[in-house]
Structures are given as C-alpha cells and as structure tokens.
C-alpha cells in the first residue's frame, strides 16, 4: 500500500512543479528535494539493490551537471536543472532515453505553442492574470518544468518502479 502511495506522490509532485512553473516561472527547491526524499523511501521499501540505487543516483548527478551547464549558458532555469536531476533519479537506465526524448519533444511543442500564443494579440480590455501576461511576454523564457514533468510522466511506465508495481 505504501508503494502505491509513493507511486502516486511522484506524479503528483511533477504536476505541482509543472503548474507552479507555468504560473510563476519558478520551481521551488522543496519540490526537487521532496522527489529525492521520496526516491530514498522508495528504494528502502523496494527490492532494488544498492548497486541499482547507486546507478540511479549517478544518473541524477550527471543530469544535475548537465542542467547546471545549461543554466550557466542561460538555456535552462535553476529550478529546471534541479527538477531534471530529481526526476532523472527515478528513471534509471531503462527509462532515461524515453525521459530525455519525451522531454525534448514536449519542450519543442511547448516552445512552438508559446511562439504562436505570443504572436497572437490578447483581446483589448480583457483583465489579465499576471501569469498570463508573463506567459504572453515575448521576452519571457519558457516554463520548461512543464516539459520535464511531461517527459517524466511519459517515461514512467518504462521505469523499475512501474514494473515493480504492476
């Protein structure tokens, strides 16, 4: 039963990160830390070996390094870099390629939608929410946490966790 709660909490935290990034262009540190803490609990409750857990952790560290490099070139936000790594820890070798491909696909689709949205004038006199105005601003970036969450959710069925649950 606890395993099921953990497997529901992982997608729920990803959705919270995606919605929060959409609304505020920020992903709080507590979300990435919660994903990591949840991973540690899941490892202790599963039949995952320490070697497998170490490989998952190593993947997270590599993805954190990649995310930090992208952040240093202003290609990714700091919260996005941390979310990339925290979700990547859950993926392992089996789901990592799917996670990266789905994230790239979702990010490209998100960018295309934002370009089209930002080219369309908003109706005059319409009271705008601050998050809609920020999303419509051509100088604003892309809330890439949405793509990271979609990528992780799409790759979830290929993970060790999903196989162990089913």
Q: For the residues 150-161, what does the mean pLDDT come to?
A: 93
Q: For the residues 33-44, what does the mean pLDDT come to?
A: 94
Q: For the residues 34-46, what does the mean pLDDT come to?
A: 93
Alpha-carbon distance of 154 to 81, in angstroms, equals 19
Number of domains in the chain: 1
Alpha-carbon distance of 67 to 81, in angstroms, equals 4
> Does the pLDDT value for residue 128 go beyond 80?
no
How many residues can be counted in the chain? 166
Q: What is the pLDDT of residue 19?
A: 97
> Does the pLDDT value for residue 126 go beyond 70?
no
Quick: pLDDT tens for 81-125: 999 999 999 999 999 999 999 999 999 999 999 999 999 888 776
Q: Which domain holds residue 42?
A: 2-165
Q: Are 46 and 99 in contact (CB under 8 A)?
A: no
């Amino acid at each position: 039963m606890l395993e099921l709660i953990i497997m529901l909490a992982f997608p729920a935290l990803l959705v919270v990160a995606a919605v929060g990034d959409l609304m505020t262009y920020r992903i709080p540190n507590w979300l990435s830390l919660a994903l990591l803490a949840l991973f540690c609990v899941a490892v202790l409750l599963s039949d995952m070996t320490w070697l497998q857990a170490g490989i998952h952790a190593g993947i997270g560290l590599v993805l954190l390094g990649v995310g930090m490099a992208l952040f240093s070139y202003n290609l990714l936000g700091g919260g996005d870099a941390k979310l990339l790594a925290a979700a990547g820890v859950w993926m392992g070798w089996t789901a990592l390629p799917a996670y990266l491909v789905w994230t790239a696909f979702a990010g490209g689709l998100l960018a295309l939608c934002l370009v089209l949205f930002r080219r369309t004038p908003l109706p005059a006199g319409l009271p705008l929410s601050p998050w809609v105005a920020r999303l419509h601003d051509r100088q604003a970036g892309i809330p890439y946490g949405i793509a990271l969450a979609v990528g992780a959710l799409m790759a979830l069925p290929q993970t060790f966790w999903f196989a162990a649950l089913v």
